[in-house]
Amino acid sequence: MGVALSITAFPVLARILAELKLLTTSVGRMAMAAAAVNDVAAWILLALAVALSGNIQSPLVSLWVFLSGCGFVVCSILIVLPIFKWMAQQCHEGEPVDELYICATLAAVLAAGFVTDAIGIHAMFGAFVFGILVPKDGAFAGALVEKIEDLVSGLLLPLYFVSSGLKTNIATIQGLQSWGLLVFVTFTACFGKIVGTIVVSLLCKVPFNESLVLGFLMNSKGLVELIVLNIGKDRKVFEFIFLLSLFL
């Protein structure tokens, strides 16, 4: 629950800043940088949480899962990153990108998801790590986005939201105590994120107005929270926080 409510939705934040034309401002750059670091930290915490929350009794298994995940990240940086950089260097602006590079990248992402799922973390973690390693500049990144963006945003993303919604039964939240807990957690999540950001910003001598804006921006919620909740084993917790995410 802590990981799910502490994540800042990077794509949602980027869209908000773009719509408000704040991407090039100091507040926008600061918020994007903070959200990027927040996302990386959240995925690391998620990997640790999943490793420690399994049904297996032995703590050595959880330790093994965590160490295996760290080994996966290190191997990806040492082996996969140079390969991605080499493929990006072979793709020049104004020239068509070899389909072999696109297929190899997508196959590598699927393989990464399979490996992390076999380790015991989650397939999304492997895909996320490889997404970070793919070079963001040049013709290779542009061609990769062009090939898969429409499929992901037009089909897979809506299906994921529908799937999450169908798994949610709001009727399980019954009674004054449950609804009171929902309100309390909602308040705590917003208070901790907004006030925490404001306090740190003021300590860094950021003007109060900008600190307040940063606090609300860092409280953005989105798809990543649903991914975290889908990973969880407790259905009641999933349904509770899914409703909370809709409110936020």
CA-based torsion, 225, 15, 123, 75: positive or negative: negative
pLDDT in tens, 145-202: 888 878 877 887 788 778 777 877 777 778 888 888 888 888 888 888 899 899 999 9
Per-residue pLDDT, 25: 85
- Counted domains in the chain: 1
Q: At what angle do helices 123-133 and 59-75 cross, to 10 degrees?
A: 20
Q: What is the pLDDT of residue 182?
A: 82
Count of beta carbons in the 10 Å neighbourhood of residue 157: 13
Q: Where are the alpha helices (DSSP H) in the chain?
A: 2-6, 10-19, 26-52, 59-75, 81-90, 99-119, 123-133, 139-151, 157-166, 175-203, 208-218, 223-231, 235-247
The CA distance from 166 to 137, in Å, is 38
The pLDDT tens digits for 229-242 are 666 544 444 444 44
Question: One-letter amino acid identity for 103?
Answer: C
Q: State the residue range of the domain holding 106.
A: 2-247
125-150 pLDDT, tens per residue? 788 788 888 888 788 888 888 888 78
Q: Which of 30-39, 71-80, 165-174, 206-215 has the lowest mean pLDDT?
A: 165-174
CA dist list (Å): 243 to 167, 210, 225? 12, 30, 11
Phi, psi of 82 (to 5 degrees): -60, -35
The radius of gyration of the chain's CA atoms, rounded to the nearest angstrom, is 20
Q: Summarize pLDDT for 82-121 with one digit per residue, the tens.
A: 999 898 888 887 778 888 888 888 889 889 888 888 887 7
pLDDT band with cut points at 50, 70 and 90 for residue 52: low
| pTM attached to this predicted model | 0.63
* Distance of alpha carbon 116 from alpha carbon 71, whole angstroms: 11
Q: What confidence score (pLDDT) does residue 234 get?
A: 47
Q: What confidence score (pLDDT) does residue 42 get?
A: 75
- Binned at pLDDT 50, 70 and 90, residue 54 comes out as low
